Amino acid sequence: MTSPRIKRLSSFVADQIAAGEVVERPASIVKELLENSLDADAKQINVRIEGGGVSLIWVEDDGFGMRPEDLALALERHATSKIVDAEDLLGIESLGFRGEALASVASVARVRISSSLRGSKVGAVREVHGGELVQASPVAHNSGSTIEVRDLFFNTPARRKFLKTERTEVAQIEQVVRRLSLANMAVGFSLRQAAGQIANGRALSFPAGRIEQRLGQVLTPEFVANSVVIDEQRDDLRLHGWVGLPQHHRRLSDQQYFYVNGRAIGDKLVGHAIRQAYRDVMFHGRHPVYVLFLEVPQSGVDVNVHPTKHEVRFRDARRVHDFIFASLNRALSDIRPGRTEVPNEGRAQNAPDGSPPRSDDFTQRSTAPLYQPSQPVLNASVPGGFAQLVAQTKGTSFSNPSQGPYAYSGVPSSAAPGAEMPPLGYAIGQLQGVYILAQNAEGLVMVDMHAAHERVTYEKLKRQAASATIARQRLLVPENIDVTVAEADLIEEVAELLEASGLLIERIGLQSVCLREVPALLTKKDLKGMLKDFLAELAAFGSSDELLRGRLDLLSSIACHGSVRANRQLSIAEMNALLRDMETTENAGLCNHGRPTYFMRSLDELDKLFYRGQ
């Protein structure tokens, strides 16, 4: 068999190959056309589709338009106004820069483009069917451009077989419009679909400038009420936008929007950094909700690594990852009881309505969530007040193991005359050995004592582990425990790591171990039962390597199994000490597994329940 000869492909075949890279489905075309409109400085973009975008995609904008001679080049391959030479590829600032996009669309559909320069009423029209010119003439046209794409894949019917149902294609187009609308709040968007098999004139409309309304439309009103503004900057990196509170989570990751320099992307490195930031506060198996914008120098990111521009490559990926993680971790750690306002430093303030997310400010929502990042409510100037109470109780937990986990003396169990009421108030009782009931200035506070104590203990263990100072207490009477051979082997394998985490456990037989030391923060009740539960969970790590990577999971497990359990009776003083610790603990609104630690009900809400004043 002879070697096949190398031949130059025809322009038609080359266009078909390019179209296969760019035109995956109708939504791909909508994305390219919308990005071109945005690059043209459009303030209003209208989209109309038929047959899921296969029969018709119609996009109209009020951008700066094109000259007749530019219109002819717009449908040719490798023709663009976005770049000039190779150096421009290192600092691309526009969205739709790939020169073959419109040409690729024109090679597999019937395309008609009419455009007029801004301020002019006379423009030009150019129509191409499958790459063949059909019409080119002057036309009356308002400022901006109108593009019609009809009969997608009419000349390549095999490609149509790979399209999904009309419902699926419509959903993909809607998602493209939503995603771009979030990145361009100052631009109005509309999407109408003709009555067909799945719709009866359904439409989407996103008015320009209404930031809170758009967030509620694209995501949900619940997100608006359960999110916080983030705006963090380090050197030439900036991360800003909205992040959902940990208790506002979803089963799917369908409400996660991340943008790099205004371009929507899906990046594994970014996703990993965000998951790590939520790891300590998100309920397992759930996904956070966010709209985040990362700004990096144009020279620090390559956006030309994917045909559809869904992925980017960072020049310093580790630095970007660490910045995203640290920024989100700091914002989420600031969410704790008693935080009522956004601190000035590093936060966005009072943006005017209509300013796009790329600007320096964000509009604050009016509905305050249960938790907000701000300064703790302390008043050191009030003698005998909350600041003094915190100073007296802070660090005293477990100071007397014989009296319980939150035993201390000489601290008032209720507000002293003239003292400022602490955010979580003062305990008034315990419900069914599970919940602490307290009253504050607003009304009733209900605390899950195990969840709250678990978070407090975990954060203390994390701080001690970071400084290699986990305080341990040697047991007067070591606990000998019968285990399985596999559990004993695992204990022996990871003994050093366990000891660094505050647990000294030695193997003393084929199926027995001895617990000699525990972290001083743990309760001392039923250590044998605690260790058995802990060993069962420890076995889930599978290997010492997994355990090492999951060091924080190990500390979380220790905190969980060592915290106060249900049906444990606490004194009023112990309850108040736990409330004070919650007010000064990071992430105190949620336990290590993402469950809420407390809820508040105002007096107004309680009055409504009992029809008072009606």
DSSP 388-433: HHHHHHTT-TTSSGGG-TT--SS--SSPPTTPPPPTT-EEEEEETT
Gap between the Cα atoms of 597 and 346, Å rounded: 28
Gap between the Cα atoms of 348 and 241, Å rounded: 9
The last residue of a domain, from among 205, 227, 242: 205
Residue 601: CATH number of its domain? 3.30.1540.20
Q: Are residues 107 and 92 in the same domain?
A: yes
The last residue of a domain, from among 333, 348, 378: 333
Residue 502: CATH number of its domain? 3.30.1370.100
DSSP 421-471: PPTT-EEEEEETTTEEEEE-SSEEEEEEHHHHHHHHHHHHHHHHHHTT---
Gap between the Cα atoms of 449 and 435, Å rounded: 6
Which structural domain range is residue 170 located in?
Answer: 11-205
| Nearest residue to 324 via CA among 262, 229, 238 | 238
Q: Are residues 129 and 92 in the same domain?
A: yes
Instruction: Dump pLDDT digits (tens) for 407-426.
Output: 443 344 455 555 678 889 99
| Nearest residue to 40 via CA among 100, 73, 82 | 82
Is residue 153 within 8 A of residue 20, CB to CB? The reply is no
Q: pLDDT category, 200, cuts 50, 70, 90?
A: low
Is residue 250 within 8 A of residue 388, CB to CB? The reply is no
Residue 48: CATH number of its domain? 3.30.565.10
40 belongs to a structural domain: yes
Q: pLDDT category, 22, cuts 50, 70, 90?
A: low
Looking at the DSSP bridge assignments, the partners of residue 271 are: none
pLDDT of residue 387: 30
Gap between the Cα atoms of 291 and 293, Å rounded: 7
349 belongs to a structural domain: no
Q: Are residues 488 and 555 in the same domain?
A: yes
Gap between the Cα atoms of 602 and 439, Å rounded: 10
Question: Is 474 exposed, middle or buried, given 0-12, 13-18 or 19+ CB atoms closer than 10 A?
Answer: exposed
Note the maximum CA span of the chain: 101
Instruction: Dump pLDDT digits (tens) for 119-146.
Output: 887 889 999 998 888 888 888 888 899 9
Other residues' Cβ atoms within 10 Å of the Cβ of residue 472: 17
Q: Are residues 225 and 192 in the same domain?
A: no
Please count the structural domains in the chain: 4
Q: Are residues 551 and 502 in the same domain?
A: yes
145 belongs to a structural domain: yes
Q: Are residues 553 and 576 in the same domain?
A: no
Q: Are residues 288 and 419 in the same domain?
A: no
Q: pLDDT category, 193, cuts 50, 70, 90?
A: confident
Q: Are residues 481 and 425 in the same domain?
A: no
Gap between the Cα atoms of 109 and 15, Å rounded: 12
Q: At what angle are helices 449-466 and 551-561 packed, to 10 degrees?
A: 140
Q: Are residues 174 and 62 in the same domain?
A: yes
Q: What is the number of alpha carbons within 13 Å of residue 138 lying toward its C-beta?
A: 4
Q: Are residues 35 and 103 in the same domain?
A: yes
| Nearest residue to 46 via CA among 206, 209, 182, 215 | 206
Containing H/E element for 28? helix 26-39
pLDDT of residue 54: 92
Q: Give, in order, the Cα–Cα distances in Å from 324 to each of 217, 282, 343, 398.
A: 26, 17, 20, 36
| Nearest residue to 137 via CA among 148, 149, 123 | 123
134 belongs to a structural domain: yes
Residue 218: CATH number of its domain? 3.30.230.10
353 belongs to a structural domain: no
pTM of the model: 0.65
Q: Identify the weakest region by mean pLDDT among 248-252, 304-308, 479-483, 509-513.
A: 304-308
Q: Are residues 125 and 241 in the same domain?
A: no
355 belongs to a structural domain: no
Q: Are residues 254 and 399 in the same domain?
A: no
pLDDT of residue 362: 35
285 belongs to a structural domain: yes
> Is residue 163 over pLDDT 80?
yes
Q: What is the mean pLDDT of the chain?
A: 76
Q: For strand 237-244 and strand 227-234, is the pairing parallel, antiparallel, or unpaired?
A: antiparallel
Instruction: Dump pLDDT digits (tens) for 290-322.
Output: 999 999 988 888 776 655 556 778 888 889 999
356 belongs to a structural domain: no
The last residue of a domain, from among 333, 368, 398: 333
